[in-house]
């Protein structure tokens, strides 16, 4: 290992102390450390954007939001990403602060596994957006909207009267989709989850479709405008008859560092406090 990049959530308690500890740990082993500009500014060091860096590992120090921000910043990349949890739940940031030394030592020795996770790609107005968790289409006015949905390569079409639609990866099944009543799907399952948000019709239920589905979403409500949010960040809007969004599996997955041999179900039990 020759170099790493660290992105940290500067609003988390003890972030300066923990980042400093990481820097010292890597420097003792003559590993070059790049810092994102926010944490670098707090440490009076030079920061970089993180894009197109020649590093061995990217590190997200914070919560799942920090991890998703790092993915947005460096995507597409085949460099593995490690999440260290300074937040609360942390499905993507699996490593706890008390386990940092053990994990870093294994990282240094190459004693870890990686796992590829599906990424969604949305296209609207020839602009592409990506999401590791989900892409959400909803009304800009925060009210009921009628959305049409087609799965183009499977000749399927339906209509949703709902607050919006969540198109999720299996990784994102434990995020917004779960809060809206969607199923938990093991990340090793090749599927895309479609979850309506507060549907007006009780028979509109979440469904899991094939990973090769090309999903077209368009507005059917008169005079309505929809917004598109990818992993919590708004990426654009469109009008009825004006345009539509196509969502499909991206050709480029994200690689996660898996430092422990915990099963996915053991992680679920821990994070969701199952008995």
Q: Is 101 a catalytic residue?
A: no
Beta bridge partners of 117: 254
Q: Is residue 166 classed as helix, strand or coil in its secondary structure?
A: strand
Active-site pick, 36, 64, 163, 231: 64
Burial class (CB in 10 A: 0-12, 13-18, 19+), 10: middle
The two structure tokens encoding residue 272 = 């969701």
What is the signed CA dihedral for 150, 123, 247, 71, rounded to 10 degrees? -170
187: region left, alpha or beta (phi > 0 left; psi from -120 to 50 alpha) = alpha
Residue positions counted in the chain: 275
Q: Which residues are catalytic?
A: 64
């Amino acid at each position: 290992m020759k170099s790493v990049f660290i992105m940290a959530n500067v609003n988390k308690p003890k972030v300066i102390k923990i980042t400093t500890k990481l820097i010292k740990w890597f420097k003792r082993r003559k590993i070059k450390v790049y810092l994102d500009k926010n944490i670098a500014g707090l440490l009076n060091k030079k920061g970089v954007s993180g894009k197109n860096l020649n590093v061995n590992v990217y590190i997200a120090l914070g919560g799942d939001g920090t991890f998703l921000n790092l993915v947005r910043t460096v995507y597409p990349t085949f460099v593995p990403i490690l999440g260290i949890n300074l937040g609360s739940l942390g499905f993507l940031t699996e490593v706890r602060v008390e386990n940092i030394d053990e994990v870093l030592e294994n990282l240094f020795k190459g004693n870890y596994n990686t796992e590829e996770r599906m990424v969604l790609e949305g296209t609207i107005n020839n602009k592409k957006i990506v999401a590791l968790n989900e892409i959400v289409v909803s009304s800009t006015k925060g009210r009921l909207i009628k959305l049409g949905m087609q799965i183009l390569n499977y000749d399927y079409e339906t209509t949703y009267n709902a607050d919006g639609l969540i198109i999720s990866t299996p990784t994102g099944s434990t995020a917004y989709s779960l809060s809206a009543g969607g199923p938990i799907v093991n990340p090793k399952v090749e599927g895309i989850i479609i979850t309506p948000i507060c549907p007006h019709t009780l028979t509109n239920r979440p469904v899991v479709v094939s990973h090769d589905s090309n999903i077209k979403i368009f507005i059917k409500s008169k005079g309505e405008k929809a917004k598109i949010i990818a992993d919590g960040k708004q990426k654009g809007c469109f009008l009825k008859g004006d345009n539509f969004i196509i969502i499909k599996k991206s050709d480029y997955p994200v690689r996660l560092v898996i430092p422990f041999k915990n099963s996915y179900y053991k992680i679920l039990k821990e994070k969701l406090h199952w008995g």
